[in-house]
Structure 1
Amino acid sequence: MNKHFSFQPEQSVSTFKSFEMTKEEKVAQIIVDSSVFQFHKNRLMNEIDRALAAGNRKKFQTLSSEYNDLLTQFSHLQ
């Protein structure tokens, strides 16, 4: 796995708890979060598929855990 592109939850996930954000800033943050989510979701799904095809159970479990973490971190989008 290329660590440069690995998911880092603190990179862009917003909580929207700040009342100081304008409506436009919140919309912009949702767009950014959605883009980051889709990028990492697609990357992890492809890597999971490769791990399954190779029969690499350990890598599959690690990647599946990362995928579940990603879903949790971006649950505000779903």
Structure 2
Amino acid sequence: INPDECIDCGLCEPECPVDAIYAGDELPDVWQHYAEINAAFYATVAERTEPSGAKCVSTPGVRAFQPGASSVFSDATR
């Protein structure tokens, strides 16, 4: 969810099948790091001029979730 485009309406929260979406002010501290990764991802995407998918966006948080990554909780995501 692009943090610059989100209007905090909350409609996406009940649609998430794994309860991974929180309103900004309700995000548990343990997940705050992922909000920072999300913001960095969208800052990088905004710089791109052609569609290419997440695999072409070089941010540590995205790379950690790619097939073949050693661990989604590697040092790259901390």
Name the TM-score, length of structure 1 as normaliser: 0.32
- Between the two structures, name the one with larger relative contact order (CA 8 Å, sep ≥ 6): 1
Q: Which has more radius of gyration?
A: 1
Name the TM-score, length of structure 2 as normaliser: 0.32
Instruction: Give 1 or 2: higher helix fraction.
Output: 1
